[in-house]
């Protein structure tokens, strides 16, 4: 059983909830990273951030990052979602290891873990996970 958001969902035997949480957070972290790259590229191209979010959220680019993290924590410059960057990174590593254990290559997951690890090293141990957007911005999106 695992609790994601406001609902409890039975996901399988003992340990399945742990796996589900890690896999969910790998998706969330990957969404946040690529959303940050897209938002920063769009801003530098001259697009309005609010307009970009409206387009993404009304089309196939929609995610928790475009619906929640960017409008509520990143654009206002708060970076205080309440979930630590290092906790996200821990879950991401668990998810990639799980995939490898069951014979599923996780190339994008592994690359995303590497990017988050680099940001974590620079941002410090108490950084909120939304601060990766600021890190991507400050690093020029590279």
Stated pTM of the model: 0.90
Arithmetic mean of pLDDT, 90-97: 98
**pLDDT for residue 100 is more than 60:** yes
Judge whether 10 lies within some domain: no
Q: Which residues are catalytic?
A: 21
pLDDT at 141: 46
Mean pLDDT of the chain: 93
Judge whether 116 lies within some domain: yes
Q: What are phi and psi of 139, to 5 degrees?
A: -85, 5
Judge whether 105 lies within some domain: yes
Place of tokens 């742990």: 18
pLDDT at 113: 98
Judge whether 2 lies within some domain: no
pLDDT at 140: 65
- Measured CA to CA, the distance from residue 75 to residue 39 in angstroms comes to 10
The secondary element (H helix, E strand) that includes residue 21 is helix 16-45
Domain that holds residue 41: 15-138
What is the domain-level CATH number for residue 81? Answer: 1.10.1040.10
> How many Å is the maximal CA-CA distance in the chain?
50
Judge whether 25 lies within some domain: yes
Judge whether 101 lies within some domain: yes
pLDDT band of residue 13 (cuts 50, 70, 90) is confident
**pLDDT for residue 15 is more than 90:** no
Token pair of 108 as six digits: 């994008």
């Amino acid at each position: 059983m695992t609790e994601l958001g406001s609902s409890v969902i039975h996901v399988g035997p003992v340990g399945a909830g742990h796996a589900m949480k890690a896999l969910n957070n790998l998706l969330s972290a990957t969404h946040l990273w690529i959303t940050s790259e897209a938002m920063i590229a769009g801003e530098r191209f001259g697009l309005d951030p609010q307009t970009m979010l409206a387009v993404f959220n009304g089309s196939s680019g929609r995610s928790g990052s475009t619906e929640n993290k960017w409008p509520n924590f990143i654009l206002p410059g708060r970076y205080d979602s309440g979930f630590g960057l290092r906790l996200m990174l821990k879950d991401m590593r668990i998810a990639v290891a799980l995939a490898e254990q069951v014979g599923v290559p996780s190339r994008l997951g592994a690359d995303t873990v590497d990017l988050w690890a680099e940001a974590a090293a620079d941002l410090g141990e108490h950084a909120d996970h939304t601060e990766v957007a600021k890190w991507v911005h400050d690093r020029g999106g590279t």
